[in-house]
Structure 1
Amino acid sequence: MSVPTNRRSIFLGRMPLPERNFVADALRAETVGGVLLLVAAIVALIWANTLSGSYEAIRDFHIGPAFLGLDLSLQHWAANGLLAVFFFVAGIELKRELVVGELRDPKAATLPVIAAICGMVMPALVYVVVNVFGGGSLDGWAVPTATDIAFALAVLAVIGTSLPSALRAFLLTLAVVDDLFAILIIAVFFTSKINFLPLGLAVVGLAVFYLLLRMGVRGWYVYVPLAVITWALMENSGVHATIAGVAMGLMLRCTRRDGERHSLGEHIEHLVRPLSAGLAVPLFALFSAGVTISGSAVHEVFTRPETLGVVLGLVAGKALGIFGGTWVTARFTKAQLNPDLKWPDLFAVGALSGIGFTVSLLIGELAFAGDLTLTDEIKASVLIGSLLAAVFSGALLKARNNKYKQLCEEEERDDDQDGIPDIYERDKPEYHLRMALILEARAAEHRRLAEVAAGPHTGDDGPA
């Protein structure tokens, strides 16, 4: 029998078990970090709207050696220093996706990459259209392009939705590609003046970092000081200092050698991710999300073209861009959606990607650095847009929550209790033999219990 050559590939089908386990661990850590991020944002809003004087005084307090060009405010330290840790982890995630993850196969990567690109282009277009017709500034076009995976997963944790692993992996891949383009946007569009001497020295620091890794040198006491020095040089160069974190993350090896349970990159990511998710990002949110929210401020968000463009870009642009890019690409590549899922599921994930908290706040600060009032209004629009996207996507996901729970239970079922979900073993003959033995043992146990419950056999003559 000839095999048809036009067989359609399955999109969002079952993931390989190792990849599924890695994604589950990564998303579990991101979810915890997202909850902390959510708490930090709420604290910042309450603090800024009740004790605004103390909030501004602490946020704008300068600390650091001026002779090294590092006399920075706490807000600046959080945005350029702590977020370098966040982008370091993002660099490792990107490297892993490129060499062993969803992005290693160009054919498999086509859908999520195009979806992510469309999910950034469409919000930018929405912002531009609103501001062209509204007479606003185009400087903030990049603000609604970002997705905050931690905040998105925190929303999932709050509303109690259990997305199937394929949808979660798709969301993670979207966020990784999104982070890559956000890094490029920051590096290209928000670097106004370059000081080539510290930039050159920073490049030398990165080269030394790379060579030490290739030579197999070990010890945090070697790499951490080198990373700090490289970051400080990048900060003084005019290029956004978080680029140093990304570059170092991309240099780590993410392929496993013989005898290794985890690659070097995976091991370091496991060590650094709690610092990023539990400290760096929440502190950034604490010093960046504190904006005064009043009736007039909310009115400004929905009437001023710059802020309205951000809100519409996050809520509508993200959902339409990701869904549209995925649907069109699937049509042209003849990819068939997993029959257990529906296209509205993809639209809901697109809407969830409209939660653009951390990087959107950072880009908003960079885009309108010379206008403090507009910067605060842009921050308010990011918060409101992210909140609306969370509510909208939450409602869509809730409508399918029972189906998601059913799929998740099927993925997690392990009747033979060997630590491997049954769904990954059903095609193996030894699985069926093992299950037959288990069922036979259970039936025998049930018969024994039934006999015990019936009491001792007394014979034909009645009780003794």
Structure 2
Amino acid sequence: MTTPTRPKLFSRGEWPEAQRIAALLRLETVGGALLLIATVLALIWTNSPWRDAYTSLSKTHLDIPALGIELSLAHWAADGLLAVFFFVVGLELKHEFVHGDLRDPAKATVPIVAAACGVAVPALLYVVAQLVLDGNTKGWAIPTATDIAFALAVLAVIGSHLPSALRSFLLTLAVVDDLIAITIIALFFTSDLNLVMLALAIVPLALFGWVARTRSHPWWLLIPLGVATWVLVLNSGIHATIAGVLLGLIVPAARGADGHSLGERIEHRVRPLSAGFCVPVFAFFAAGVSFVGGDILAALTDPITIGIMVGLVVGKVIGIFGSTYVLARFTRADLDDDLAWSDVFGLSLLAGIGFTVSLLIGELAFGPGSEADEHVKIGVLLGSLTAALLATIVLRRRDKVYKRIHEQESRDDDLDGIPDVYQRAQDGGRAGTTGAK
């Protein structure tokens, strides 16, 4: 009698999807570099003799009274530019549901459970730290989010030869993570809800979806409809980034005769704007924390700072790696033949890079410019840096192993442009038993 084949975790996907992930990683590498530059510039400026000019610039107002908008430049970055970032997140999430790992319930279970546990455990550890150290539990959601741009950028640099299944897992995990984070923002960080404005927002949102689906109207109609949705959501009291996610989710993901969907074409045009401008500008205004004249020791020993660092560095690993390992044992699944559990551990460390959304939640929880918010920034920066360094130590060693395997596979491949391991997988054979463990 034939022994049943045990299910595999992180098996190779399809070649077109692997190509898309590789292209996305290249773009996010550039975006992550710009994000890092913007963060460093903000830190240098806020700790220079001209730091008052930074504060003045952040507080400069750019109001549009006719639309009921009264926002400083820093708030425009958080409420406006980040809406573009979350629009891309919505597009990516829709793609994952239609074409990616989330379309297959069996494959979707692992990243969804890992993302949920990767949110719950850091939040729990943060609350425990506040209770033990007599701190403030208002910021419980700060260490829950993984920064897509930074995490993928670091992975692209330190893990260029890691299997595409791992990179796809991190991308799917981060997208689901962001969806949970934006839901938390909507449910727990919404004040003075205006139901009339919220109801009115449904009108341009529905029209946006109708125009996107019919394709019988000029594409530029999507822009004013998207802006109208954003304005109404902003005035409803819900954080305006929610509008970005909703707009991204209703863009059709069905592919046409050319092999591309409208969502993919829009993402191709909007992602460079998001990664190259919107997110770095937000980081520039959000990451500026001054150490001049402050009590550094008090900041580092603040329960808020400690809770965030513990949540990002320890909580993410326990939540993601622990849930994945337990799920594998519960379902009697094995890792794909190419992988080792140290790869998943390194990826779990990498998910501890929480920057963009963590800083946003910190502002919503404690108020921008407050002492607690300054300590949030320190905790997020140090926690993310620690997670990135630890992940580098683990994944760089593994990347050398996969580099040797990749070189061997390249020598064995034929000249049709598609690696043989993907062709064998499509033919139902075992894709690349390499003994990487």
1:216 Cα deviation (Å)?
A: 2.2
Structure 2 counterpart of 1:458? none
Amino acid at match of 1:246: V
Structure 1 CA distance, aligned partners of 2:116 and 2:404? Answer: 31
Structure 2 CA distance, aligned partners of 1:308 and 1:247? Answer: 34
1:338 Cα deviation (Å)?
A: 1.8
Structure 2 counterpart of 1:285? 283
Is contact 1:348–1:397 with CA below 8 Å preserved after alignment? yes
Pair 367,18 (structure 1): closer, same or farther in 2 beyond 3 Å:
same
Is contact 1:91–1:248 with CA below 8 Å preserved after alignment? yes
Query: Residue by residue, what CA displacement relative to the aligned partner does 1:134-181 show, whole Å, maximum 9, x if unpaired?
Result: 111111000000001210122234546532211111111110110110
- Matching residue within 385, 396, 399 for 1:398: 396
Pair 15,296 (structure 1): closer, same or farther in 2 beyond 3 Å:
same
Query: Residue by residue, what CA displacement relative to the aligned partner does 1:274-293 show, whole Å, maximum 9, x if unpaired?
Result: 01111110110011111113
Structure 2 CA distance, aligned partners of 1:417 and 1:164? Answer: 21
Aligned length: 426
Amino acid at match of 1:38: L
State yes or no: 1:276 paired with 2:291: no
Structure 2 CA distance, aligned partners of 1:391 and 1:405? Answer: 20
1:10 Cα deviation (Å)?
A: 1.3
Structure 2 counterpart of 1:216? 215
Amino acid at match of 1:303: T
1:67 Cα deviation (Å)?
A: 3.8
Amino acid at match of 2:102: L
Query: Residue by residue, what CA displacement relative to the aligned partner does 1:288-309 show, whole Å, maximum 9, x if unpaired?
Result: 1111136955423431111110
Amino acid at match of 1:35: A
What is the correspondence of 1:221-236 to structure 2 with a 5 Å cutoff?
Answer: 221-236=220-235
Structure 2 CA distance, aligned partners of 1:154 and 1:90? Answer: 16
Is contact 1:161–1:404 with CA below 8 Å preserved after alignment? no
Amino acid at match of 2:184: I
Structure 1 counterpart of 2:17? 19
Query: Residue by residue, what CA displacement relative to the aligned partner does 1:213-252 show, whole Å, maximum 9, x if unpaired?
Result: 2322343321101111111111111011111111110001
Structure 2 counterpart of 1:311? 309
Q: When the two structures are superposed, what TM-score results if normalisation uses the length of structure 2?
A: 0.93
Structure 1 counterpart of 2:334? 336
What is the correspondence of 1:69-88 to structure 2 with a 5 Å cutoff?
Answer: 69-88=68-87
Pair 344,91 (structure 1): closer, same or farther in 2 beyond 3 Å:
same
- Give the 4+ runs in structure 1 shifted more than 3 A: 2-5, 156-162, 293-298, 407-415, 425-429
State yes or no: 1:200 paired with 2:199: yes
State yes or no: 1:358 paired with 2:356: yes
Pair 341,203 (structure 1): closer, same or farther in 2 beyond 3 Å:
same
What is the correspondence of 1:173-184 to structure 2 with a 5 Å cutoff?
Answer: 173-184=172-183
Structure 2 counterpart of 1:449? none
Amino acid at match of 1:335: A
Pair 357,311 (structure 1): closer, same or farther in 2 beyond 3 Å:
same
Amino acid at match of 2:30: V
Is contact 1:97–1:103 with CA below 8 Å preserved after alignment? yes
Structure 2 counterpart of 1:35? 33
Pair 398,426 (structure 1): closer, same or farther in 2 beyond 3 Å:
same
Pair 116,160 (structure 1): closer, same or farther in 2 beyond 3 Å:
closer
What is the correspondence of 1:25-424 to structure 2 with a 5 Å cutoff?
Answer: 25-50=23-48, 51-159=50-158, 161-257=160-256, 259-293=257-291, 297-369=295-367, 372-409=370-407, 415-424=413-422
Structure 2 CA distance, aligned partners of 1:27 and 1:78? Answer: 24
1:27 Cα deviation (Å)?
A: 2.1
1:416 Cα deviation (Å)?
A: 2.8
Query: Residue by residue, what CA displacement relative to the aligned partner does 1:366-422 show, whole Å, maximum 9, x if unpaired?
Result: 011177111111111111110111111111112223113234445666743222112
Is contact 1:191–1:239 with CA below 8 Å preserved after alignment? yes
Structure 1 CA distance, aligned partners of 2:247 and 2:386? Answer: 35
Pair 181,409 (structure 1): closer, same or farther in 2 beyond 3 Å:
farther
Amino acid at match of 2:206: A
Is contact 1:414–1:420 with CA below 8 Å preserved after alignment? no
Pair 105,413 (structure 1): closer, same or farther in 2 beyond 3 Å:
farther
Structure 1 residues without counterparts, runs of 5 or longer: 430-464
Structure 2 CA distance, aligned partners of 1:52 and 1:132? Answer: 35
SS at 1:4's partner residue? Answer: coil
- Which protein is bigger by CA-based radius of gyration? 1
Query: Residue by residue, what CA displacement relative to the aligned partner does 1:48-92 show, whole Å, maximum 9, x if unpaired?
Result: 111211111111100121342212100000001000000000001
Structure 1 CA distance, aligned partners of 2:269 and 2:117? Answer: 33
SS at 1:400's partner residue? Answer: helix
1:186 Cα deviation (Å)?
A: 0.7
Structure 2 CA distance, aligned partners of 1:370 and 1:292? Answer: 14
Q: When the two structures are superposed, what TM-score results if normalisation uses the length of structure 1?
A: 0.88
What is the correspondence of 1:417-456 to structure 2 with a 5 Å cutoff?
Answer: 417-426=415-424
1:316 Cα deviation (Å)?
A: 0.7
Is contact 2:25–2:156 with CA below 8 Å preserved after alignment? no
Identity of counterpart residues, as a percentage?
A: 54
Deviates more, 1:406-415 or 1:7-16: 406-415
Pair 272,297 (structure 1): closer, same or farther in 2 beyond 3 Å:
farther
Structure 2 CA distance, aligned partners of 1:235 and 1:428? Answer: 47
Pair 408,153 (structure 1): closer, same or farther in 2 beyond 3 Å:
farther
Amino acid at match of 1:209: F
